[in-house]
Structure 1
Amino acid sequence: MGSNGANGSSGAMSACARLRQMLAQPNEIITAVGVYDGISARLALNEGFKCLYMTGAGTAASVLGMPDLGITNMTDMVTNAGMIAGLDPTVPLIADADTGFGESLAVSRTVRAYMQAGVAAMHLEDQPLNKRCGHLGSKELVTEDVYFRRLRAAAATRDQLRAQTGQDIIIIARTDSLQALGYEAAVDRLRKAGEAGAEVAFLEGIVTKEQLENVCRDIKDTGMPVLLNMVSGGVTPEVSIAEASKLGFRIIIFPSAVLSVVMEAAQAQLKHLKETGLQKIPESRKHQGPKLLFEAMGMDERVEFDRKVGGQSYTQGI
């Protein structure tokens, strides 16, 4: 995979260049935890994750309060991605871009928007515009011609902007064809996706250990790294990061790692409040008030910045 280390004229390494550098380490696996809003992204950064993943399902749920059924549009997705990528521009963000939100010209516009938002990598899939979560049933597909046209449009836009501005983005080809067409046909789509300009392969909805064991080997000769999607409670057999690395995967994403536990905890809190009239507050958080949240969201750094530029707002403390 090619590399472009500069970001504008500053000479600083861009998030995309950093992700390319990580992918260039042959025995390392990139772990990208799924985030969907400012809180989840901040907490992941605080824990020291070196790569983030913006989940489309989480974006649909948190931004729109809707299911992952192709309801989000480009503006919804790129606005959320730009906010997350901007929290720490040194940490690469891989972002769901669904179908690219249209035909060639729309895909090109989407790629430009994601690049300008600071996204390091984006994945495009072969479902129609009325797509659905990859771990639901009865998924439909577009033809190979339509799919590869999306990828060629994405790759051409990436190459054009890279030449003009030095910006860069990694194009990930996701196929949802395993369910309808079978393993061999799905792998064949990914191989052809590489010829269309994709740089990373993503077989969605893996359902057997055998498929997990074979896919990296079956795509190895293309030179494309393979991404594994580990959805909480999804159709894919659960493997650890170490196991995924041993199987040959180069990227592993955990889209619902945060969302699933937040949903459960929030439902329990709301149920308790409705039934008792009281909030359930852990002992460790009693008497902390909102300060604990604000500190996790970077309050100390913001206050210090204000002090350094001569601000007086926080001289008496918070």
Structure 2
Amino acid sequence: MAQENDMAAFTPFRPAAVILREKLADPDKLVLCPGVFDGFTARIALDAGFDTLYMTGAGTAASVLGQPDLAIVSLPEMAGNAGMIAGLDRNVPVIADADTGFGSSLAVARAVKLYSQLNVAALHIEDQAFIKRCGHLRNKALVSLDEYLVRIRAADRARKECGRDIVIIARTDSLQSLGLDEAIRRLKAAHAAGADVAFLEGLTTKDECRKAAQALAPIPCLLNIVGGGVTPAVDAAEAKALGFKIVLWPILSLTYAYVSVKKAFRELKDKGWTEPLPGGEGGIKDIFEVCGIDEAAAFDHAVGGSTLDGGFF
């Protein structure tokens, strides 16, 4: 049996951070990211054709631990989830939540080195106190600007020391309690300290979005659109017109998982069975295919394996 050993098919490794930086440098490109929380939702996003993904911290807390987004997820849990998602397709960069950096400057450095080792393209670090909460909840406690800049400088130094690039996104949650001017001041200071992208969380109006992006230019700005949150939902074209370079829809998959699974489980509980979906969509064949069973079979065949010989459906 012939085995394929064609080095012409070998694709040289390109770090995810390099790919993401190319997207950020393209003046015509808007980086639109669906929020994914596990391998399955990431596979669905890849199948839909997205070229950048966002690993949501809230979704990681909910899916990995069944807990709310209240600084309960540890660094190994968050990084492990981000690295697994980043490994599904090395050509699709993953932006990942890193909360407050998980502690002191040394913890921030450890997080940056670990994320970069896992080929995560970017991470964002916020200025909330260590016991943080979701950015679209009220009464968030903040650290001082000086303490926040220690986190950003630690991230930048760790990136340089480890010799692996990763895009550093500075997030501020200060708008709610300190106002727009202070939020902009914090992000400008974070950029001067080494951050690449500005992320002003909790913008409440389109006019506020526009003012923030204009004030922060030419720093690339990130817009976070959370279902049920305080930021207005805008489409990709409008987000770009407002001045943003990256747009996250962080809990989109979490929302649809909640709504759809809840409906199906209620139907099963009430009726003892569930109605098949139109056209049989979502059966085991669809699920295995989106998870890459055809690619797995092709790989096994190429190396002379017989694990998946004879078909599987």
Place the TM-score, normalised by the shorter chain, in its bin. Answer: over 0.9
Deviations 1:111-158 (Å, cap 9, x if unpaired)? 011001110000000011110000011111011111000000000011
Matched, 1:219 2:216: yes
SS at match of 2:32: strand
1:179 aligns with one of 171, 176, 181: 176
Match of 1:195 in 2: 192
Cα distance in 1 for partners of 2:179, 2:311 equals: 62
RMSD: 1.2
Matches within 5 A, 1:127-206: 127-162=128-163, 167-206=164-203
SS in 2 for 1:94: strand
Shift of 1:161: 1.8
Equivalent of 1:301 in 284, 295, 300 = 295
Q: Secondary structure at the match of 2:27?
A: coil
Deviation of 1:310 after TM superposition, in Å, equals 1.0
Q: 2:262 aligns with which of 257, 263, 267?
A: 267
Mapped to 1, the partners of 2:146 and 2:89 lie a distance apart of 38
Distance 1:301 1:12 in 2: 19
Q: What is the aligned length?
A: 302
- Rounded to whole Å, the distance in 2 between the matches of 1:154 and 1:119 is 14
Q: 2:172 is aligned with what amino acid?
A: T
Corresponding residue to 1:234 among 224, 229, 233: 229
Q: Which amino acid in structure 2 is aligned with residue 296 of structure 1?
A: V
Secondary structure at 2:169's aligned position in 1?
strand
Q: What's the counterpart of residue 210 of structure 1?
A: 207
C-alpha distance in 1, partners of 2:254/2:300? 33
Distance in 2, matches of 1:316 and 1:29, equals: 44
Letter in 1 for 2:293: M
Q: Secondary structure at the match of 1:99?
A: coil
Q: CA deviation at 1:289?
A: 4.5
Cα deviation per residue 1:220-267 (whole Å; 9 max; x = unaligned)?
1xx310000011121001111100001110000110111101110000
Structure 1 residue 284 displacement after superposition: 1.5
Cα distance in 1, alignment partners of residues 94 and 294 from structure 2: 24
Shift of 1:11: 5.2
| Letter in structure 2 aligned against 1:312 | S
State the 1:313 CA deviation: 2.3
Inter-partner Cα distance in structure 1 for 2:188 and 2:65:
35
Q: What amino acid maps onto 1:141 in structure 2?
A: L
Q: Distance in 2 between matches of 1:102 and 1:115?
A: 18
Q: Structure 1 residue 213: deviation in Å?
A: 1.4
Structural mapping, 1:1-318, within 5 Å: 12-162=13-163, 167-220=164-217, 223-285=218-280, 289-318=283-312
Which AA in structure 1 matches 2:292?
A: G
CA deviation map 1:259-278 (0-9, x unaligned): 10111000001111110100
Structure 2 counterpart of 1:148, one-letter code = L
**Is there any run of 5+ residues in structure 2 with no aligned partner, and where?**
1-10
The list of structure 1 runs, each at least 4 consecutive aligned residues, that deviate by more than 6 angstroms after superposition, is: none
> TM-score, normalized by length of structure 2?
0.94
Q: Letter of the 1:259 partner, please give it.
A: L
Per the normalisation by structure 1, the TM-score is 0.93
Rate the CA distance shift 1:289–1:53 in 2: closer, same or farther, 3 A: closer
Partner of residue 4, structure 2: none
**Which residue pairs with 2:7 in the alignment?**
none
Unaligned residue ranges in structure 1 (runs of 5+): 1-9
